[in-house]
Structure 1
Amino acid sequence: MGQCETPANIQAPNSIVDTTHCTILGCDSGYPGLKRQVSVFHQANASLHYHFNFLHFSYGARLGFSRMDDALTEWDTIPRHVIFKFHGYQFITCHSEAFISFEFYLAPFQPLLWGMFVGSAVIVIIVLSLYEKYKNINSPGPCCSWSFVLAIIFEEAGFVPMRLEKQEFFRMVAGGWILMSVVLTNCYNGLMISNLNSPLPRTNIPETFQDLICKDKKILNLYKQQADLTDWIMNTANLSRIQSLDLSDSPMCYKILSAPNLDPPFQFLQLIMVTFMKIKLLHFEIFASSSQLRLPPEPLTESISIDDIVILLLSQGYNTFSPANFNSSFPGNKRHNNMPQTNAAIINEVAKCEKSVLVVEAFDMGFRFHDMTKQYFWRKFYKGKDILNFALVGWTFEGEGNSKVPQYFQYLFESGIQERLDLEISMRKYSRNSEYTIPKREDDPVRLDGAILTLFILCGVLISSSVLIVVFELLVDGPLREIYIFKFLKFDPTHRLSRSPGQKNEVPLLYRISKFYAGFRKIWVQFLADSQVIISSDYLAAPPHYNLKVGVVKRQGQPIKVEKHFLAPVAAGSENATRYPTRYPQHYYPYPHGYPCGYPLPATRYEN
């Protein structure tokens, strides 16, 4: 990547030879701005003669075009140079991967609002409960405060006793809570509908060229640790897999697409090959210098940048650099004629949002990104955050003497004329949409690949959990315990599970779990039964020949089947208590004014 210099005889008048131009990467493909700058030589009454092999000329003034970071160019020894632009590569992509996240169920409200909402609900429940308790407001129906508050949140009608709803305090508290709940609930519903109809959140979006590396990323860490990678660098550069145009497609790696070229067929491949040549030349110079000084050669990693390491990692043959159905066997002239079709194929393949990126020059990134976003407006494109192979570029002048050519070049760029011309060229280039073949936009109805999928996941999890609980209960206490497989799993002391003599019987794990669940349930039922009020036969107004007690029921020495039921609570002073004073005597209640809200009243049902 040495500088491309043009010997110029500045004394010869009015003769200009412009056969070929220099580029940033070499001297064989043409720099489009050189033709506009020959007017500088007209004004200075000088001639410009281009020679490809400038090393044969050691006389006269020389004009060069090179990069400021070029290790092969000694910028300190060049007295005059004019920097006019920066050069590098960025990429555009719309590839991303969707992932399922339940975070957007909490996203409509900020954490502070969630905290205030939950805190307000708890305060309202506590206030209403205390008010009911100290005002002695009771009702035979389920009038719990927490169920009323939750019903308002979910836009349902909660039950409120008539005595309670007539209280002014309850109306003030409930009215404020209803107003706040209506506003917050409708805001939440509106935001959630938008989120559920939107696509799933995106992740794994490539941001740097290092994210495009398919394998051997550990080399980057070794380079940062200043390890000696000379052998690996030279082996990678000497293999030159890119030169053989091994363009095999790998679905696990990114496609790195770029503008079509003549030889090599793509711009990014040209960057890789130039990097190979630069590394080989650097290694040769380091080896020659160390041989003259009779010193061990310094590691090659001290002379190359991390961008060169990234380019080497991308050139190992895992990534693809051509679009689908590209034929690299075409000759140069036919490949030149097919450049518009190749460019259109590259753009369309990137617009499919598959695992591919489009590499463009950093100077043209803004125009290309705006153009693709405008043409494919239903796609979300992303720009890379780093610039690969970044450097300042400019003209260098050697042996110019008293010539005014360097000064005129400086005037040309400092006045903004050159920048304006480059801007106009880029705008005209991207205003032509012939390279785009816009596909028909697909309709985007609500599909299961969106965020609405999470609703089905939540519903499926709850239903599956309930089914498992029901099956487990049936296996323990239901009819399914009589099936053969469950009988086989039950522990039988007379059945030897291990057929080998001398081994002890082992209890299956499922049987242990079922016995533990049955024992726990028995203790819990007994606890609930002991916590109920014992109602004897006279409270139930049972016939006198029935000697009824909860838990022990006999009819003249013959056992009777007893089933416990939890009925709705009956408050003192109610219609039933007035109609049946024997069945509901007030002095037997632990609460003088009846059971509190939601307290279950036990009763028995007897059968012959």
Structure 2
Amino acid sequence: MAELVALLTQIGDPPSGIHLHIVTDQHNLDTNFPEIEIPNTLYKISYWTHFLGSKVLIDLPSIQPHRIRLSSILSMLVVVAVSPQIEGLGKSQNRFLHIDKLLHGVNSARNLIMSSELRRKHVYGEQAPYYFRGPFTIFWLSDEIPDSEQNFPTKSFFTRNLGSKYGNPFVHTVVFMIKFQNHANQSADSNIIFFCAHCSITYSVKFITVGVIADRGSRFVWASKSMLRSGTFQSRLIETITIMAPVEFIVHRHSTFSFPFTSTCETSEMQPHPFERDFRAMGFYCGTNFSIRHLPIEDLSSTLTIPTIHDESYYSGSTEVITADYTFVTDIDEYNFITCWSRSKYEFEIFLIPFQTFLWISLIITASGIALLLTLYLRLIRAERLVSSWALFVASLAGQSYSLVGQVEKRLAIRIGLGTWFLLSVIFTQGYIGVLLNFVCALFSKISVDYFEDLAKPMCNYQNISNNLSPCPPHVWLNLSFYEEHAYRKLDQAEEFRLLSDVKDVTGILNRKGWLGEAGSDTFAKLLRGSGTFATTFFTALFSFAMERHPNMGLIRSPLLGLLSSFMTWADQIDTYEDLLAFNLMHPLEREFLPEGLSNVQTATQMDELYEKELLKCGRSVWVDATIQLRNKLNYLARHYYWIKFFMGKRPIMRRAKAIYLSNEGISKVGRRLRTFMESGCYKFKRQAFYSIGIASNMRNHTKSIVATMQRPDLFEPLNLSKAISAVFIIFSGMHLLSIVVHLVKTVYYYRRNVINFWTGLESSNCCMFFRCPKIELKVVSWESQ
């Protein structure tokens, strides 16, 4: 009792913004609690008897959010006076239920403010998907202190139980313990023990004595002088802990490293990933005394309670970001593609491009009107007819001379009318020639693919986009028959494209090159790909995208559980166009490009060289990557292969927000340091520099060897038929063929009688070769005989 009175006296009257919450049970309420003023809130743990005879904790009470002000609770002090003995239970049962009792008591403070609707949704032992973010300090008073750090109930105080939907994110809690002295030993001093969960990288706590309650609770003796300074009781406690138990370890979770290691600012045991450089490479940890523990993103330890920084990756932070202390959205992650595949065609429209449509119509109408007037005028004055009045105006537009003979050229009306036209024709002709030459000497505009829809053939009719396809099933990712029909079909290389991307795990691919290479087992490769084991980054992202939207997809495609799919019913959700597009891009599985000769690859550089050679063939293949890395790669390729034109997609897909977040900050000041680093722009500047340097350093070696084997054209090349001027020769040849045809037609028409007679005689001679021809007698009759 003396310890509790001394603690409440030390706390005193909490100032505004600090809420005092006391948790106890019936045993401590009867034996250890004196007659004190009611604190802000007091909760007594109670049980009710189940119909089977077992005791069950009563549901937690709560305060309606509309009954308090938003600024009334900024920080919370929780005094937990809970006895390890539960009435009516034996020691063996107490051993298992004591931690649940402690968790229940602490949750009464964490879930103090909750609406009745949310309270009904959450069963015993779970918390709402939000929590109190202010300072949270617990004083645990008990007559039994854990005999070792391993027996401390870490889960009760450092892990928030949000249920399986939200995983087990962590909340830093400052925990002190004070032992109740029994009546026989009331003169003994009670130590104030701080349970330091951030003092070790292991999953245990460390006991640190920060003060003593001496002289039967009449005075406090603190180990640090910071408790004697001014300020609130809670702020002085945090300052004391910062001095006596500083943060020495920080966890950095990565999405690229496959094994854990420890480093500092100066050490570099492992080179960072070229496209996802960590803060250590950026110098963020320099000037601190932290030891950085690097862990893969898959290592989700449920009892880790030290400050943790998560890499920017939407694959890892979608569930834990709700409990993060700091969250910084760094970019919008989206995928796009580049390719050098293109096709060109003869464009005879080059002769129409120099003038707009309205100008062409005006010229035709003007020339036709003037030619008609000239014809009528010549007939009116009965002048000698020209060869052609239309040829006069066509020749003037073409810049050729056309002479007028006779007395017509001396007439003033002809000179005024035609002179004005000749002057205008010079302006139009020279302007036309100038624009035409610029286009004739340029390359044909090449046609390439612009959208992801152009890379794959649609597999079904989505919203009546094509009448030649069958309608799409309700759930393309969950339809096993639809998957088997399209997953393992042959890729139509005449119309579809292969997808190239960064190799996700070069070391793993080289270790598994037996089943990925030519000599590998196709059945085993199909089984691994069907389960989501892909070699490249983009196909892994497609599979993660599908699993995020359809978690039951892996269950349906399992060979063992595939029969259960016919008996299962799925949520009534309609597939979006993005779902169908992702399915088309991922299937057939052959679309993921794996280079030939993979069995001979020994290093990652050789594999990158094979991928770059395939892209530079400018066949039906595209390189897919995140937009930021893709722009840097495009700039690099355009500089080194300047004679090749690369095209970039116009509409990215799978847009997701990328964020860096800090969880479990605790008493450290990592959050403020991280916020300064992010808001100053240093992170974006460093990241862009690392992207460019990483691409250049990875591609520099094999790019030189590839360029040396290619035939590079000069920057300035002479005019040749590969340009648009070839259309001039095609038109010229076509017109000559047309003139020959016209000549033949006119000749036949002029000599049509001779041709008919010749053809008739030819038929008669052929007839006599096979049949008996009638005899024809010719008689000569003279006029004299008549």
TM-score range, shorter chain: 0.5 to 0.7
In 2, are the aligned partners of 1:475 and 1:481 still within 8 Å (CA)?
no
1:117 lines up with 2:363 in the alignment: yes
| Residues 129-528 of structure 1 aligned to structure 2 (within 5 Å) | 129-134=375-380, 136=381, 138-139=383-384, 142=386, 144-203=388-447, 205-216=448-459, 218=461, 228-230=474-476, 250-261=493-504, 262=506, 263=509, 264-275=534-545, 278=548, 281-283=551-553, 296-299=569-572, 301=574, 306-317=577-588, 320-322=591-593, 326-329=596-599, 335=602, 337=603, 339-431=604-696, 433-436=700-703, 437-438=706-707, 439-442=710-713, 445-447=719-721, 450=724, 452-453=726-727, 454-456=730-732, 458-459=734-735, 462-463=738-739, 465-466=741-742, 469=745, 473=749, 477-479=753-755, 482-483=758-759, 487=763
Distance verdict in 2 for CA 1:99–1:220, change over 3 Å: farther
CA RMSD of aligned residues (A): 4.9
CA drift of 1:213 comes to: 0.9
Q: Could you list the runs of 5+ residues in structure 2 that have no partner in the other structure? A: 1-165, 173-196, 201-245, 261-271, 510-533, 558-563, 765-770, 772-782
Q: Could you list the per-position Cα deviations for residues 242-262 of structure 1 after superposition, in whole angstroms to 9, with x for gaps in the alignment?
A: 9xxx99893432122223441
In 2, are the aligned partners of 1:230 and 1:300 still within 8 Å (CA)?
no
2-structure distance, mates of 1:99, 1:441: 24
Distance verdict in 2 for CA 1:479–1:411, change over 3 Å: same
TM-score (ref. length: structure 2): 0.50
1:58 alignment partner in structure 2: 303
In 2, are the aligned partners of 1:137 and 1:163 still within 8 Å (CA)?
no
2-structure distance, mates of 1:118, 1:400: 79
In 2, are the aligned partners of 1:16 and 1:48 still within 8 Å (CA)?
yes
Letter in 2 for 1:120: T
1-structure distance, mates of 2:372, 2:552: 79
CA drift of 1:358 comes to: 1.6
CA drift of 1:419 comes to: 0.8
1:22 alignment partner in structure 2: 254
In 1, are the aligned partners of 2:339 and 2:615 still within 8 Å (CA)?
yes
2:218 alignment partner in structure 1: none
Query: Helix, strand or coil for the counterpart of 2:551?
Result: helix
Query: Helix, strand or coil for the counterpart of 2:701?
Result: coil
Distance verdict in 2 for CA 1:424–1:397, change over 3 Å: closer
In 2, are the aligned partners of 1:151 and 1:157 still within 8 Å (CA)?
yes
CA drift of 1:188 comes to: 2.2
Distance verdict in 2 for CA 1:235–1:329, change over 3 Å: farther
Alignment partner of 2:277 out of 24, 29, 32? 32
Matched positions, count: 473
1-structure distance, mates of 2:171, 2:282: 15
Query: Helix, strand or coil for the counterpart of 2:457?
Result: coil
2-structure distance, mates of 1:249, 1:124: 58
2-structure distance, mates of 1:64, 1:273: 22
1-structure distance, mates of 2:570, 2:320: 20
In 1, are the aligned partners of 2:338 and 2:647 still within 8 Å (CA)?
yes
Q: Could you list the runs of 5+ residues in structure 1 that have no partner in the other structure? A: 489-494, 496-556, 558-608
1:73 lines up with 2:316 in the alignment: no
CA drift of 1:7 comes to: 11
In 2, are the aligned partners of 1:100 and 1:201 still within 8 Å (CA)?
no
Letter in 2 for 1:202: K
Moved more, 46-55 or 399-408: 46-55
Query: Helix, strand or coil for the counterpart of 1:483?
Result: helix
1:90 lines up with 2:357 in the alignment: no
Q: Could you list the per-position Cα deviations for residues 548-578 of structure 1 after superposition, in whole angstroms to 9, with x for gaps in the alignment?
A: xxxxxxxxx9xxxxxxxxxxxxxxxxxxxxx
2:352 alignment partner in structure 1: 106
2-structure distance, mates of 1:280, 1:32: 31
Letter in 2 for 1:298: A
TM-score (ref. length: structure 1): 0.63
2-structure distance, mates of 1:374, 1:398: 42
In 2, are the aligned partners of 1:88 and 1:362 still within 8 Å (CA)?
yes
Letter in 2 for 1:207: D
2-structure distance, mates of 1:230, 1:358: 26
In 1, are the aligned partners of 2:254 and 2:297 still within 8 Å (CA)?
no
Q: Could you list the per-position Cα deviations for residues 461-499 of structure 1 after superposition, in whole angstroms to 9, with x for gaps in the alignment?
A: 6247526735864895442663379849xxxxxx9xxxx
Q: Could you list the per-position Cα deviations for residues 340-390 of structure 1 after superposition, in whole angstroms to 9, with x for gaps in the alignment?
A: 333334334333432221223211233222222222223332211122322
In 1, are the aligned partners of 2:336 and 2:630 still within 8 Å (CA)?
yes
In 2, are the aligned partners of 1:87 and 1:361 still within 8 Å (CA)?
yes
Letter in 2 for 1:191: V
1-structure distance, mates of 2:372, 2:363: 14
Distance verdict in 2 for CA 1:306–1:411, change over 3 Å: farther
1:506 alignment partner in structure 2: none
CA drift of 1:279 comes to: 5.8
In 2, are the aligned partners of 1:94 and 1:381 still within 8 Å (CA)?
yes
2:158 alignment partner in structure 1: none
Letter in 2 for 1:101: E
Distance verdict in 2 for CA 1:67–1:323, change over 3 Å: closer
Query: Helix, strand or coil for the counterpart of 1:379?
Result: coil
Letter in 2 for 1:97: R
2-structure distance, mates of 1:25, 1:238: 34
Q: Could you list the per-position Cα deviations for residues 420-475 of structure 1 after superposition, in whole angstroms to 9, with x for gaps in the alignment?
A: 11122123235554342332235675327856244156326624752673586489
